[in-house]
Amino acid sequence: MSIWTRIADALAALAKGEGLSAAFDRLWAQPAAPERSVAFTIAVIALGAKMAKADGAVTRDEVAAFRRVFMIPPGEEAHAATVFNLARQDVAGFDAWATKIARMFGPGDPVLNDVIEGLFHVAVADGGYHPAEDGFLSEVARIFGISDAAFRGIRARHVEGEDPDPFSVLGIEPTASVDEARRAWRTAVRDSHPDRLTARGLPTEAIKLAEARLIAVNRAWDEISGKKPALAG
């Protein structure tokens, strides 16, 4: 049974009056991996729906970007759309859904970075970046335990006109030492490697985002180290 078939079953329960948040809680409470996968998928779609609505309007470009980066298979758009539309009407705010996702993983888990990267991709898909979207994403990052410096780095990679400060790109403060920068760079390279992301099952669009992140972190390290072999070794 595919995850989307299970989501269809969950939607059948919703049709009987169960709320979206309640459906998530019921699925996540079950120890079986498939049910927890369904819960995670529902939570990500719900958070994406809240993201798309943050600036007051949901555009086709945003919906298309969400389908690409969060891998909605052909033929399953109707199920995803149902969850998406229910989430926009759900009484739970975006912070509640972000908290649900954060509780699934430990602090610093790469999955949380994958989710925030995907949400940025949706936010800028319509060609702009609204202050309301920035407020939304900064609060999600806070809930996810992503540092201010790391958040600024993610924003610099996605938002046109942002200053790609090399320290922010690596998720560290400007006062960090070269050794700290080197460690952050190596961690970022490891976490952004396409083979590693493919092994985690990320879709092609998300891997492309990671490849762009890899270019950015290498450029940031070059700038911080001054391209000196003694420092970069």
Residue 4 belongs to some domain of the structure:
yes
Q: What is the pLDDT of residue 99?
A: 92
Residue 201 belongs to some domain of the structure:
yes
Residue 207 belongs to some domain of the structure:
yes
Whether 99 and 179 share a structural domain: no
Amino acid at the residue 210: A
Domain boundary among 106, 130, 160: 106
Q: Tell me how many domains the chain contains.
A: 2
Residue 138 belongs to some domain of the structure:
no
Rounded distance between C-alpha atoms, residue 112 and residue 208, angstroms = 17
Q: What is the pLDDT of residue 232?
A: 42
Q: What is the pLDDT of residue 198?
A: 67
Whether 101 and 185 share a structural domain: no
Q: What is the pLDDT of residue 136?
A: 92
Whether 11 and 101 share a structural domain: yes
Whether 99 and 174 share a structural domain: no
Residue 1 belongs to some domain of the structure:
yes
Whether 181 and 100 share a structural domain: no
Q: What is the pLDDT of residue 4?
A: 72
pLDDT in tens, the chain (233 residues): 567 777 777 777 776 777 788 888 888 888 877 788 888 888 888 888 888 777 776 677 777 777 776 667 777 778 788 887 777 776 568 898 899 889 888 777 777 888 888 888 888 888 888 898 999 999 999 999 988 878 888 888 788 776 667 887 887 888 888 899 999 899 888 877 777 766 665 555 556 667 777 888 888 888 888 844 444 44
Domain boundary among 85, 106, 127: 106
Q: What is the pLDDT of residue 145?
A: 92
Residue 149 belongs to some domain of the structure:
no
Q: What is the pLDDT of residue 151?
A: 87
Domain boundary among 64, 85, 106: 106
Domain that holds residue 193: 170-233
Residue 158 belongs to some domain of the structure:
no
Q: What is the pLDDT of residue 227?
A: 47
Residue 2 belongs to some domain of the structure:
yes
Q: What is the pLDDT of residue 209?
A: 65
pTM confidence score: 0.73
Rounded distance between C-alpha atoms, residue 66 and residue 71, angstroms = 8
